[in-house]
Amino acid sequence: MTVGNVGAKRRLPSLAQLRAFAAVAEHLHFRDAATALGMSQPALSGAVSALEEALGVTLLERTTRKVLLSPSGERLAVRARAVLAEVSALMEEADAVRAPFTGVLRLGVIPTVAPYLLPTVLRLVHDRYPALDLQVHEEQTASLLDGLHSGRLDLLLLAVPLGAPGVVELPLFDEDFVLVTPLGHPLGGREGIPREELRELNLLLLDEGHCLRDQALDICREAGRDDAPVTTTAAGLSTLVQLVAGGLGCTLLPHTAVAVETGRSTHLRTGWFADPAPTRRIALVTRTGTARGTEYAALADALREALRPLPVRVLGADA
């Protein structure tokens, strides 16, 4: 009887506390976690401390330099993410029941897509779905997938195939890669470039973690290039292209990025590969079994039509 009374008086964790702990567990940094949640560091720290008190365990190991998960924190972080994902699914189900294309839609986009497709996406949502509260998050693929599975994000716009379980891919289009060279490079301005030319090029790539880097390396391997060390990298396409303009090497750009990125310099040329050119596929991605699946499929259909003016090959729903 005594044990039952003690259990009955035990305080349950709040969702705010679980969100705070999950954010710290993801970022391992109070400031970054607080920024991600849009709250102050003291409030975040207080929420995590309150959760520790409610659970009766120490979740974090705090030092002057960094934050680490305790062994208990490692185990309970998995449970916290699962609870938050279920709550997100509950809210998603309520949104779907209430009305399609209303409420919040948290869209994650990779950096090599966001600047070139978002104008089309935002214009479509503004014109066709004015009651939809679209919130955009630009992150790398691994972070986006983690956000999707944890319920932090609802829908992703990125390069596929992912080879990840628990997701549905809604293909939108294929686009070719274009070779970008410094002015005066022998391949600049050429058409019908054999892929084999990539074997000897000084190729500049994005930093590790970008899916575009992995795609470029796959293309090089298919062309018979060794896994030669990459001595110069960049955090974004704009910097990468400026390195090319400065004569440090060549790079590969997706066709949708070419007009924006090469238009900033007169010291660049583009070269076009022989058919079949290396390509990438862009898709909307969501969780398997999502309550808003029909809504997302309709959004994908609308996006395919809206994207036709871009230099891409729009795909059917069953591609």
Phi and psi, residue 63, nearest 5°: -120, 175
State phi, psi for 154 to the nearest 5 degrees: -105, -35
Note the pLDDT of residue 227.
Answer: 65
Considering only CA atoms, which of 60, 63, 61, 62 is closest in space to residue 20? 60
What's the pLDDT at 256? 95
**What is residue 234's predicted lDDT score, i.e. its pLDDT?**
83
Residues of the chain short of pLDDT 70, as ranges, are 1-9, 64, 96-97, 227-231
C-alpha closest to that of 254 among 179, 316, 151, 150:
179
Task: Give residue 210's pLDDT.
Answer: 83
DSSP collapsed to 3 states, the chain: CHHHHHHHHCCCCCHHHHHHHHHHHHHCCHHHHHHHHCCCHHHHHHHHHHHHHHHCCCCEEECCCCEEECHHHHHHHHHHHHHHHHHHHHHHHHHHHHCCCCEEEEEEECCCCHHHHHHHHHHHHHHHCCCEEEEEEECCHHHHHHHHHHCCCCEEEEEECCCCCCEEEEEEEEEEEEEEEECCCCCCCCCCECHHHHHCCCECEECCCCHHHHHHHHHHHHCCCCCCCCCCEECCHHHHHHHHHCCCCEEEEEHHHHHHHHCCCCCEEEECECCCCCEEEEEEEEECCCCCHHHHHHHHHHHHHHCCCCCCEECCCCC
Task: Tell me how crowded residue 186 is: count the other CB atoms within 10 A of its CB.
Answer: 10
Q: What is the pLDDT of residue 3?
A: 41
pLDDT value at residue 222: 83
Report all structural domains of the chain as residue ranges with CATH numbers, in order of start: 2-83 (1.10.10.10), 164-319 (3.40.190.290)
Residue 230's pLDDT is 65
Report pLDDT digits (tens) over 135-169.
Answer: 999 999 999 999 999 889 999 999 999 888 999 99
